[in-house]
């Protein structure tokens, strides 16, 4: 397949879902659902980093990723709750860009996800003030040891199975939902005549953690 169809499909979300499924089958890519998340930093300067997509809600049209709410990205999103996500699957010749507003996931959803994380990952979430300076690796290790001891584990040996004591989610760590207001799908074509379609729609607030999307309009863009 070298194009997205003569007439742009009405809804990009099923195509994005299909692309994510195809990417998940890539055997030579350890994190097929990694994405570059761009936000706006101080004085309007762009910033970007890689995060992992943990869920795609095809019905409403949002991406979920998890992070520290007090990290640089967390603070940037607090100041301007808009982001852009870019996926690139080189082997498939595909790129997807998703832009729109960002809301924190409902607390219960973040709790449920946090509970599925390994003991070490939960300790690390507590131990790392993400994006803050640290004097040394030794200080970070010491912090992991303290956290392990606090939750009934064995300091110095985080590889042990989790002790029975529950490690609750820290309130400064959780999910974000990036709602698709615009989706651009790019498919590699012959002679650099790639195919690009940009879909956009209006979003209307629907409660604390969601939006309702209006109808999509699509236009094909020159490569
Ligand atoms: C493959 C990969 C996956 C990553 N996944 C996440 C993630 O899901 N959440 C996260 O907070 N950081 C993740 N990181 C680390 C971020 O890229 C980044 O270093 C960190 O979130 C701090 O970013 P900030 O200072 O801009 O907030 C990942 C890095 C890589 C290379």
Q: Measured from the CA of 50, which atom of ligand 1 is nearest? A: 17
d(CA 176, CA 34): 15
Q: 3-state class of 109 per DSSP?
A: helix
Question: What pLDDT was estimated at residue 3?
Answer: 82
- Mean pLDDT over 74-97 rounds to 97
- Asked if residue 179 lies in contact with residue 101, where contact means CB atoms within 8 angstroms, the answer is yes
Coil, strand or helix at 92: helix
Q: Within 6 Å (CB) of ligand 1, which residues are found?
A: 31, 34, 49-52, 65-67, 71-73, 130-131
Atom of ligand 1 nearest to the CA of 67: 11
Q: For ligand 1, atom 12, which residue shows the shortest CA distance?
A: 51
Q: What is the mean predicted confidence (pLDDT) over 51-78?
A: 98
Q: Looking at the predicted structure, is the pLDDT value of residue 26 above 90?
A: yes
Sequence spans of domains, the chain: 13-116+172-221, 119-161
Please work out, in degrees rounded to the nearest 5, the angle formed at the alpha carbon of residue 179 by the alpha carbons of 91 and 47. Answer: 70
pLDDT at 166: 82
Ligand 1 atom having least distance to the Cα of 74: 27
pTM above threshold 0.75: yes
Give me ligand 1 centre to Cα 34, in Å: 10
Residue 183 forms beta bridges with which residues?
98, 199
**Domain covering 13-116+172-221 assigned CATH 3.40.50.300 in the classification:** no
Q: What's the pLDDT at 161?
A: 67
């Amino acid at each position: 397949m070298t194009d997205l169809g003569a007439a742009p499909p009405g809804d990009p979300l099923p195509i994005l879902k299909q692309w994510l499924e195809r990417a998940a089958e890539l055997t030579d890519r350890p994190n097929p659902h990694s994405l570059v998340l761009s936000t706006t930093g101080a004085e309007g300067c762009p910033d970007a980093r890689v995060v992992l997509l943990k869920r795609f809600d095809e019905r409403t049209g949002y991406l979920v990723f998890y992070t520290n709410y007090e990290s640089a990205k967390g603070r940037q999103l607090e100041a301007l709750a808009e982001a852009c996500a870019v996926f690139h699957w080189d082997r498939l010749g595909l790129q997807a860009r998703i832009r729109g507003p960002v809301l924190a996931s409902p607390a219960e959803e973040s709790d449920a996800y946090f509970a599925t994380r390994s003991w070490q990952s939960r300790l690390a979430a507590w131990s790392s003030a993400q994006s803050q300076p640290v004097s040394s690796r030794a200080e970070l290790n010491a912090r992991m040891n303290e956290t392990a001891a606090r939750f009934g584990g064995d300091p110095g040996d985080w590889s042990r199975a989790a002790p029975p004591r529950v490690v609750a989610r820290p309130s400064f760590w959780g999910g974000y939902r990036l709602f698709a207001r615009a989706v651009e799908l790019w498919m590699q074509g012959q002679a650099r005549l790639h195919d690009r379609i940009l879909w956009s729609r209006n979003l209307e607030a629907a409660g604390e953690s969601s939006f309702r999307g209006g109808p999509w309009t699509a236009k094909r863009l020159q490569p």
